[in-house]
Amino acid sequence: MSLSRADVEGIARLARLEITDAELPVYVGSLSKILSFVEQLNAADTAAIEPMAHPLEGEVQRLRPDAVTEHDQHAKFQQNAPQVASALYVVPRVIE
């Protein structure tokens, strides 16, 4: 599938991206190549392929031990705060 310049401009507008005129041909080419690759993938016959419940079926992932590595130091950190109330940082009101 080949995208046109207008297609890419519309996509950029929807994504709120600012693309310069110099960048536009690069995006047109790149996105067209990506969509062509997706079309190739869609053409593959996957009817006889059984879906995987998990990509590492039969494998075991190594997990780190669930241990506390840092201790609560909020009192130490709040000593530098200009204002604290009920163990929370008090900040100036932004919205009135």
Query: Residue 34: which CATH number?
Result: 1.10.20
pLDDT of residue 56: 75
Residues in the chain: 96
Residue 53 in any domain: the answer is no
pLDDT in tens, 4-16: 999 999 999 999 9
Domain boundaries, position 20: 5-43
pLDDT of residue 11: 93
pLDDT of residue 74: 86
**Rounded alpha-carbon distances, angstroms, from residue 43 to 3, 33, 35, 39:** 19, 15, 12, 6
- The total of structural domains in the chain comes to 1
pLDDT exceeds 90 at position 27: yes
Closest by CA position to 28, among listed 55, 56, 7, 13: 7
Q: Which secondary structure element, helix H or strand E, spans residue 85, and what is its range?
A: strand 84-85
pLDDT in tens, 38-83: 999 999 998 998 887 777 777 877 888 888 888 999 889 999 899 9
Q: Is 48 in contact with 24 (CB distance < 8 Å)? A: no
Confidence band for 36, pLDDT divided at 50, 70 and 90 = very high
Regarding beta strands 88-89 and 84-85, do their DSSP bridges make them parallel or antiparallel, or are they unpaired? antiparallel
Neighbouring CB atoms inside 10 A of 8's CB total: 22
